[in-house]
Structure 1
Amino acid sequence: MVAPPFPPTDVSLHAVTDTEAVPIADPSISLVEQIKLRRVKKGPFVAGIAAKTDSENFKDQEKNKDRPAAKRWGDLLTLESRSRKPSSLKAAAKFLAQEGLISLGGGLPSSDYFPFENIGAKVPTIGEFSEEETRVTGQEMTIGKHDVKEGKSVFDLSIALNYGQGTGSAQMLRWVTEHTEIVHDPPYKDWSCVLTPGSSYPLEQVYRMFGNRGDYVLYEEFTFATAVETAFPLGLRPCGVKVDAEGLLPSDLDEILSNWDEKARGAKKPVLLYTVPSGQNPTGATQSESRRREVYSVCQKHNLLIIEDEPYFFLQMDPYGETASAPTTNTEQFLKSLVPSLLSMDVDGRVIRLDSFSKVIAPGSRMGWVVASAEITERITRHNENSVQNPSGIAQVLMHRLLDETWGHEGYFEWLGYIRKEYTRRRNVILKACETYLAPLNGVATWVPPMAGMFLWIQIHPPAGCEDENDLQKIEQKIFDECINEKVLLTPGSWFMAEGKEQLKKNGKLFFRATYAAASEEAMVTAIERFSGALRSVFEIRG
């Protein structure tokens, strides 16, 4: 796919102008094609330095007009969040669209003094994604300082390297809004997107928006360690919810909240649930569609906001042992193969979805976005304006040139299908190694094949009569130390306990997490063999 032609125009100080709603009513046309038609009917996309815009400019207004609005969440906002006011300097950008306006008002440096004439990268051609193929058939992608003036693109270095809006660039905001509409199509009217530097930072923002010191946040009992560590300095306390092979247990969530004792807990009922529904870190569990609907129903009953952290959503896989589905280049078939997101079920605007490119493009891109009700994304935008501003301009223009003008939406979904296939193969390698080296250990190690993500969760069952069998912390440490002696590193499960290592006594289960994301296939097999050796040594298993 080549970049479309763009009319040469001076857009150095213009805001977004393509705000007209364009109805595309033919249901036989795919969502991707509808978006292409919508772009054509809206005409040239004009978005210059610090262009002020929001997702409403890029959504299907006709489809949304009869949908309900989100519930209002202002009464749950903290004093800090309610106190944030719009940036007067950022707000002034709306005047830049006036024809003939000469601006001496902002502190925008001239691009004449940006010491980058162009930047380039070699990227895969659609359908030829491997490193070897990219070396041979990859295409050179060059981004110049004045591509917009020269009619080569809608985004260039003169715009990307200058100051931007708290929403992120209009160019990338258009892309993520369209992507959200294609993949999730939230069933309420006033959803919106805002760009962020990855997902960890907006998670902290959400905590600060809805959590006061001493409040509780609900998590899976084993959860992404950073999610708890981010909350701790803010004075927020974790409450773990039981999990099974499908992840979060709605019945336990309901029981915890139905029996919440404010006096005993020293805090009001929680208003935030943090969950990773697909390929959960660390357990690898994936919530089925029915499980997600049950979780959502419990959250409606108790008026919880759901932080849906989904870095592994597109890494959903065929069940282990089944014949792998043939990779598809059809976008709609690819999307139908995925378990629907909580966002796609959200009729209330209670889901705050954290998305990023960290696990599907590169974590160093520091590019992510939040999808939530416009009321919530407006507060996040205000927070951005007085902190990080927006993701790196270089990251934004690189991602836009790759995803929008080189691959397009269809090409990106083909890429996602490719990496899903690659991670599926890696998962199968580590599972086969477990069958070879861990299965003979008389039931000491068991596991459930993951259906998504990058992690294998291995449960350890100490043999009867094992020394220190009632002190799981000591056993876990012995296994970890012996693993290091065997020159293999797996992560102890207690590192992921929402309520800390003391939870081991209450939980009574011992786990180790292995990842199949980075090591070579040969090295993964060797690592599992060494892990088996460590378990044999600790538990004195012979034969």
Structure 2
Amino acid sequence: MSPSAVDIKVQGDTAVTIPNPVDNNALAAWRKTGAVPTGTAAFSTSDMFKSPACFTRPKAKRWDHHLSLEAKSRKPSSLKGAAKFLSRPGMISLGGGLPSSETFPFEEMSIKVPRAPKFSEAETHVSGTTITAGKHDIKEGKSLFDLEVALNYGQSVGFAQMVRFVTEHTEIIHEPPYSDWYCCLTVGNTMAWDATLRIFCERGDYILTEEYAFASALETAAPLGIRIAAVKMDEQGLLPEDMDELLSNWDEKARGAAKPHLLYTVPSGQNPTGATQSAQRRQEVYKVCQRHDIFIVEDEPYYFLQMEPYKAGVPPPSSREEFLKVLLPSFLKIDVDGRVLRLESFSKVLSPGTRTGWIVGSEQIVERFARHFESSNQNPSGFSQLALFKLLDEEWGHAGYLDWLMHMRLYYTHRRDALLEACEKYLPREVTSWVPPSAGMFQWIEVPWKKHPGYAQGKSHAEIEEAIFLASVDRGALLSRGSWFRSDKHMAEDKMFFRATFAAAPTDKMQEAIKRFGDALRAEFGLKDAE
């Protein structure tokens, strides 16, 4: 079973018990501490929606010395700031250019969703609930959120109704050990990462990341002139001792830049390797970051897709309480300094097309993001925020959402097992090896390229990888090349990998693709066909 999320000790660790908001009575008591602002462009912060216990904790450290010139230069939006006066009784606004809702050609929006715990497509078709949002539900006393508000301009942190939900969710799952943490909605983690780089880095800076990292994250950094210092990995991901050695021996003159102060990591079901950092590993990484004053960006779209070890015979969690207990601790959960920015997303657990996620960090850092968003993307689509609110808050609640996350965990476990069974059946073990992932949606397959006949003929790593890739494509199976994810393109590649996902294709198609990849490997390496 995955290590427990309890008993994590770090410098300055503290423990405060919060009410159990999964219980409806406890949640109702918690929510009495602050009403949800429901007006157009209403101002809100996470402080309005935290439990009283949260405010007994110490505050985060300051990070002025890590902020970019761009981040330090941003000022609050005059127009967004003026929206706070809209809540005054009798106020007639001729200030901001907010269109009248009379001009919105959307009277109501209806969506059909699963009724917990009947989550399958077939069950939803038969017994799902149709929920409707009208244009004037707030005025009519039907809801806390409606189309009149959702389809107008809003604050850059997102609409208060969704800020409340993600704030409560964050405290339920992570219980950050400092008091002044905030949430801010984003248009997904890729956009949040782009903003992070602008807020923390100058052109020419180095950042730290795993030696194999999410290709889009690397491609976001490159045109900004940000360079990568690669940290070695093992089956658990990032190696803290290698990061410590790299930072301790940093040669500013040879590198042409100061020592990095930002770490980008995907701790759970890492993309592309599928590696998951254990609770102990996360502690060790955090302590290295404390030692070298490194700010941590944890990109965690796969956090809730944690699974039991493959073929371990361990049953999945049978209750919400057990599910919460076996979740690995996030960096946010052990962050006593406020040195972690957590990138959260609904993309992998609900749908990518919502284009809605959120960040969690100290008030100082999140405030800089809010200023950045005011003059860029502003906030996620009002349609998406309203649909998510109706589903997550009004229909499911936190308890139902946890039920859904447990369902998703089991769904991906079955898909992972199907892909691994295909690997065991169809891949030639003479030239492949892999470690079963315990989270996420990716399988990392190592191929000993120096055994390829082309190696003796002087062919390069890139040429052999290309030959295997195209042989697989010619047989109708598309896997990703490991070199696409190499974070430091200047380092020589000693190993060769291919990435397969168990997220997309139907189970039978996925197994057929692995068979075709196995056939390509046999052909390339001159092995006998499988019987």
Aligned equivalent of 2:487: 498
Q: Which has the higher contact order (CA 8 A, sep 6+)?
A: 2
Give me the whole-angstrom Cα distance separating, in 1, the residues matched to 2:18 and 2:66. Answer: 42
Give me the whole-angstrom Cα distance separating, in 1, the residues matched to 2:107 and 2:217. Answer: 40
Instruction: Give the CA deviation at 1:96.
Output: 1.9
Please list, as runs of the form range in 1=range in 2, the aligned pairs for 1:25-36 lying within 5 A after superposition.
30-33=20-23, 36=27
Aligned equivalent of 2:363: 374
Name the SS of the counterpart of 1:315 in structure 2.
coil
Flag the 1:145–1:410 CA change in 2: closer, same or farther, 3 A.
same
Instruction: Give the CA deviation at 1:368.
Output: 0.5
Give me the whole-angstrom Cα distance separating, in 2, the residues matched to 1:259 and 1:326. Answer: 44
TM-score by length of 2: 0.94
Q: Does the 8 A contact of 2:50 with 2:171 survive in 1?
A: yes
Name the SS of the counterpart of 1:406 in structure 2.
helix
Alignment-mate amino acid for residue 391 of structure 1? P
Aligned equivalent of 1:468: 455
Name the SS of the counterpart of 2:22 in structure 1.
helix
Flag the 1:170–1:271 CA change in 2: closer, same or farther, 3 A.
same
Instruction: Give the CA deviation at 1:463.
Output: 5.9
Q: Does the 8 A contact of 1:463 with 1:539 survive in 2?
A: no
Q: Does the 8 A contact of 1:491 with 1:513 survive in 2?
A: yes
CA-based RMSD: 1.7
Aligned equivalent of 2:12: none
Give me the whole-angstrom Cα distance separating, in 2, the residues matched to 1:465 and 1:129. Answer: 46
Give me the whole-angstrom Cα distance separating, in 2, the residues matched to 1:28 and 1:357. Answer: 25
Alignment-mate amino acid for residue 87 of structure 1? S
Instruction: Give the CA deviation at 1:108.
Output: 1.0
Aligned equivalent of 1:542: 528
Q: Are residue 226 (structure 1) and residue 216 (structure 2) matched? A: yes
Instruction: Give the CA deviation at 1:499.
Output: 1.0
Please list, as runs of the form range in 1=range in 2, the aligned pairs for 1:148-297 lying within 5 A after superposition.
148-297=138-287
Q: Which of 394, 402, 406 is 1:405 aligned to?
A: 394
Q: Which of 459, 465, 475 is 1:486 aligned to?
A: 475
Q: Provide structure 2 residue ranges, at least 5 long, that are not aligned to the other structure.
A: 1-15
Aligned equivalent of 1:19: none
Instruction: Give the CA deviation at 1:35.
Output: 5.3
Q: Are residue 75 (structure 1) and residue 65 (structure 2) matched? A: yes
Q: Does the 8 A contact of 2:347 with 2:354 survive in 1?
A: yes
Q: Are residue 458 (structure 1) and residue 445 (structure 2) matched? A: yes
1:406-463, Cα deviation, whole Å (9 max, x unpaired): 000000010011011010000000100111111xx24200000000000000000136
Name the SS of the counterpart of 1:306 in structure 2.
strand
Aligned equivalent of 2:125: 135
Aligned equivalent of 1:383: 372
Aligned residues: 512
Q: Are residue 109 (structure 1) and residue 96 (structure 2) matched? A: no
Give me the whole-angstrom Cα distance separating, in 1, the residues matched to 2:209 and 2:236. Answer: 15
Instruction: Give the CA deviation at 1:38.
Output: 3.0
Q: Are residue 523 (structure 1) and residue 513 (structure 2) matched? A: no
Instruction: Give the CA deviation at 1:104.
Output: 1.9
Aligned equivalent of 1:532: 518
Q: Are residue 144 (structure 1) and residue 134 (structure 2) matched? A: yes
1:90-118, Cα deviation, whole Å (9 max, x unpaired): 11122122222222222111111100000
Alignment-mate amino acid for residue 202 of structure 2? N
Give me the whole-angstrom Cα distance separating, in 2, the residues matched to 1:396 and 1:475. Answer: 47
TM-score by length of 1: 0.92
Give me the whole-angstrom Cα distance separating, in 2, the residues matched to 1:480 and 1:321. Answer: 30
Q: Does the 8 A contact of 2:213 with 2:486 survive in 1?
A: yes
Aligned equivalent of 2:406: 417
Alignment-mate amino acid for residue 111 of structure 2? A
Instruction: Give the CA deviation at 1:527.
Output: 0.6
Q: Are residue 445 (structure 1) and residue 436 (structure 2) matched? A: no
Please list, as runs of the form range in 1=range in 2, the aligned pairs for 1:50-89 lying within 5 A after superposition.
50-60=41-51, 62-89=52-79
Aligned equivalent of 1:21: none
Q: Provide structure 1 residue ranges, at least 5 long, that are not aligned to the other structure.
A: 1-25
Instruction: Give the CA deviation at 1:468.
Output: 2.0
Instruction: Give the CA deviation at 1:65.
Output: 3.1
1:31-56, Cα deviation, whole Å (9 max, x unpaired): 43375133553475342100011111
Aligned equivalent of 1:37: 28
Q: Does the 8 A contact of 1:458 with 1:513 survive in 2?
A: yes
Q: Are residue 48 (structure 1) and residue 35 (structure 2) matched? A: no
Name the SS of the counterpart of 1:140 in structure 2.
strand
1:110-167, Cα deviation, whole Å (9 max, x unpaired): 1111000001111000010000000000000111101111111000000000000011
Q: Does the 8 A contact of 1:468 with 1:474 survive in 2?
A: no
Please list, as runs of the form range in 1=range in 2, the aligned pairs for 1:323-362 lying within 5 A after superposition.
323-328=313-318, 330-362=319-351
Q: Does the 8 A contact of 1:457 with 1:513 survive in 2?
A: yes
Give me the whole-angstrom Cα distance separating, in 2, the residues matched to 1:269 and 1:463. Answer: 35
Give me the whole-angstrom Cα distance separating, in 1, the residues matched to 2:31 and 2:376. Answer: 36
Give me the whole-angstrom Cα distance separating, in 1, the residues matched to 2:429 and 2:337. Answer: 49
Instruction: Give the CA deviation at 1:464.
Output: 4.0
Flag the 1:28–1:474 CA change in 2: closer, same or farther, 3 A.
closer
Give me the whole-angstrom Cα distance separating, in 2, the residues matched to 1:238 and 1:43. Answer: 44
Flag the 1:110–1:245 CA change in 2: closer, same or farther, 3 A.
same
